[in-house]
Amino acid sequence: MKVIILSISSDIGSDLAEHFIKKRYEVYGTYNTNLPNLKIPKKNIFKMNIESFDSEEYKSWLSSIGEWDIFISCIGTLKPVGKFIKIDLNYWVKSVAENSTFQIAALVNALKFRNQKKLPTVIFFAGGGTNSANDYYSAYTLGKISLIKAVELLDHEIKDTKFAILGPGWVKTKIHNQTLEAKEKAGNNYERTLEILNSPDKFNPTEKVIEDIVKITELPKKLVGGRNFSSVHDQITFENLEELYNIDKDFYKLRRNLNN
């Protein structure tokens, strides 16, 4: 089994890599700034800014991997943090793309190398703001919501692959430093982040996130494909999802409230 992890150097990405390495999967990944310290061949790690999704170097690296079974993108940034009228709009536009379209394009270039014989799985990470206004994180929120719809579109178009997205909840990772660095630009999120960082019991363990990802890779396409799951709030089991599917085939998909 071959696994590709975009941003394998991120906290969740490196933990996922360690999990799959222990399972004796072939693990491959990209990084942008910090070279990850993982026990895999150097050729398996590719330095890449996600903006370079269409580079010949990236395509060549994908080709060298061959048929992959699992593709996971761990890319995400909260920056720029702040109100619409006070942020750098060029930075904002780039951030929306980094949280969304750049990742989707990187996946599309990888799809031709997927293992079509064994129903491969693609997983993205969702973020906050799906069900409410997530103040001061507009680029992050819009990008992540775009990914939610993207997995539905991809899953509907491509029948031999499962596409899903998982909201990890509050996981203790470096991304929260971006809120702390923003200070007053983050509004009340600054104090809330400090409060949660000082209360470890409020975090969703990385082990739970990995467990849910593994479940998604194992469950049937009709039950997980095109859906947005919450690691904190959802019971990701065959029995529960089968029950939800029998009630509403569009469960956990992005829909307008009170739609008829």
Question: pLDDT at position 112, please?
Answer: 97
| Side chain identity at residue 225, one-letter code | G
CB 13 within 8 A of CB 7: yes
Question: pLDDT at position 184, please?
Answer: 95
Question: pLDDT at position 260, please?
Answer: 56
Put simply, whether the predicted model's pTM sits higher than 0.85 gets the answer yes
Report CA dihedral (62, 67, 72, 76) to the nearest 10 degrees: 10
The token duo for 260 is 């008829």
Closest-CA residue to 167 (of 220, 251, 248, 227): 227
Weakly modelled stretches of the chain, pLDDT under 50: none
Residue 105: CB atoms within 10 Å: 15
Question: pLDDT at position 259, please?
Answer: 67
H or E segment to which residue 26 belongs: strand 26-31
Report CA dihedral (162, 71, 110, 160) to the nearest 10 degrees: -20
3-state secondary structure 196-210: HHCCHHHCCCHHHHH
Domains of the chain: residue spans and CATH: 2-174+206-247 (3.40.50.720)
Question: pLDDT at position 131, please?
Answer: 81
Question: pLDDT at position 132, please?
Answer: 82
Per-residue CA distances from 144 to 19, 77, 113 (Å): 25, 10, 25
